[in-house]
């Protein structure tokens, strides 16, 4: 779909771009280290199908942690909330996304929420299917429905690059396996998880996913209900409480938009009943969030009064 470029949005991008010099591209997944620190683009997708954009919105990025919201929606549909929340909690941690610390101090080694890596690994473990191919195929089909784009796929290079270097995620998986939270082969789980994180798309597709969450799980363009309202509500709530890692509290206070970020520099936002947002800005702050992406959302939220507490 063609996106109208907006001068107003472009001016906000130029303003937000000034802070990319204070950020750093993630390189613990070697393939992500190739990104250009100074990139910044945004698409906003409205329920009537129109959209506005600024920057190079055709550039594809891997979802990384943004995929955690989508896999959560899928397993909530696969198993229902009771089953899912017996295995992963609902509480923010205040710790970095890849931290192992709380797992050891909890009475049951159940990860605190599905947005940290330990919790996301449990969620990925719950994706139904008889093989890795079938489970990944189901997830990808769901993503293709959410974006209404059958060509969305994953980046083999990013997936392999993460699989080769994912020893911390291996450690988390072995820990939760030892404690009986998961019971599958760790290497297979990581194969599936790294492919999930490597699903790639452009900002416009990302904004389209955002508008589906914003409209309570219904694609406003096709009219299809892609997930039950209840599932969309749970996912959006996690985006508010845990979507920006251990910066979620400050983000909620200052910006107040349900959002999920990934270390590729992507942010997917869902402004309830109004629009979806897709951002790409690979320069990250010290918590792993897109530094210019956050600045851009702050400007948008202030200029257009998007913060949650203003909803009537
Ligand atoms: N914060 C992120 O985006 C993390 C996702 C990444 N694939 C990881 O597990 O480390």
What is the CB < 6 Å shell around ligand 1? Answer: 64-65, 97-98, 117, 162, 169, 197, 262-263, 288
Categorize the per-residue pLDDT at 250 as very low, low, confident or very high, splitting at 50, 70 and 90: very high
pLDDT of residue 240: 96
Among candidate residues 67, 69, 64, 63, the one with its CA nearest the CA of residue 237: 69
The backbone region for 52, taken as left when phi is positive above 0, alpha when psi lies in -120 to 50, beta otherwise, is beta
Residue 45 to residue 220: CA distance in whole angstroms: 10
| Segments of the chain assigned E as strands | 4-5, 41-45, 51-54, 61-62, 153-154, 199-201, 259-261, 266-271, 275-280
Question: Which of 3.30.230.10, 1.10.1500.10, 3.40.50.300, 3.20.10.10 is the CATH number of 65-197?
Answer: 1.10.1500.10
Given 245, 264, 271, 301, the catalytic residue: 245
- Is position 154 annotated as part of the catalytic site? no
Tell how strand 4-5 and strand 51-54 pair up.
Answer: parallel
pLDDT of residue 96: 82
- Is position 28 annotated as part of the catalytic site? no
- Is position 22 annotated as part of the catalytic site? no
pLDDT of residue 98: 85
162 is in an annotated binding site: yes
Least confident of 92-106, 141-155, 180-194: 92-106
Sign of CA dihedral 132, 118, 280, 223: positive
Domain 6-62+201-304 is of which CATH architecture?
3-Layer(aba) Sandwich (3.40)
Residue ranges per domain, the chain? 6-62+201-304, 65-197
pLDDT at 310 over 80: no
Distance 139 CA to ligand 1 centre (A): 17
168 CA closest ligand 1 atom index: 10
Pocket test for ligand 1, best of 31, 64, 200, 242 (most atoms within 8 A of CB): 64
Pocket test for ligand 1, best of 24, 25, 26, 29 (most atoms within 8 A of CB): 29
**pLDDT tens-digit profile of 141-150?**
999 999 999 9
**pLDDT tens-digit profile of 195-229?**
999 999 999 999 999 999 999 999 999 999 999 99
pLDDT of residue 108: 76
pLDDT of residue 1: 47
- Is position 65 annotated as part of the catalytic site? yes
**pLDDT tens-digit profile of 30-68?**
999 999 999 999 999 999 999 999 998 889 999 999 999
pLDDT of residue 102: 81
- Is position 263 annotated as part of the catalytic site? yes
């Amino acid at each position: 779909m063609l996106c109208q470029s907006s001068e107003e949005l472009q001016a906000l991008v130029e303003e937000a771009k000034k802070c990319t010099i204070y950020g750093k591209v993630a390189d613990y997944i070697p393939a992500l280290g190739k990104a250009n620190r100074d990139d910044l683009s945004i698409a906003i997708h409205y329920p009537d199908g129109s959209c506005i954009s600024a920057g190079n919105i055709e550039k594809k990025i891997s979802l990384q942690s943004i995929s955690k919201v989508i896999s959560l929606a899928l397993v909530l549909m696969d198993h229902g909330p009771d089953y899912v929340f017996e295995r992963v909690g609902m509480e923010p941690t205040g710790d970095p996304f890849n931290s192992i610390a709380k797992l050891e101090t909890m009475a049951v080694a159940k990860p605190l929420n599905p947005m940290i890596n330990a919790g996301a690994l449990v969620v990925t473990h719950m994706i139904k299917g008889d093989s890795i191919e079938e489970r990944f195929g189901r997830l990808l089909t769901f993503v293709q429905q959410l974006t209404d784009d059958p060509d969305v796929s994953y980046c083999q290079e990013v997936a392999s690059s993460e699989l080769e270097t994912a020893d911390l995620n291996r450690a988390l998986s072995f820990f939760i396996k030892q404690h009986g939270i998961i019971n599958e082969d760790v290497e297979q789980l990581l194969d599936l998880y790294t492919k999930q994180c490597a699903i790639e798309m452009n900002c416009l597709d990302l904004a389209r996913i955002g508008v589906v969450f914003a409209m309570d799980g219904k694609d406003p363009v096709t009219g299809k209900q892609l997930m039950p309202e209840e599932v969309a509500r749970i996912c959006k709530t996690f985006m508010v409480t845990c979507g920006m890692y251990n910066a979620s509290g400050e983000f909620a206070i200052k910006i107040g938009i349900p959002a999920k970020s990934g270390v590729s520099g992507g942010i997917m936002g869902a402004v309830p009943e109004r629009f979806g947002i897709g951002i790409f800005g690979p320069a990250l702050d010290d918590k792993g969030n897109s530094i210019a992406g956050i600045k851009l959302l702050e400007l948008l939220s202030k200029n257009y009064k998007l913060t949650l507490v203003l909803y009537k």
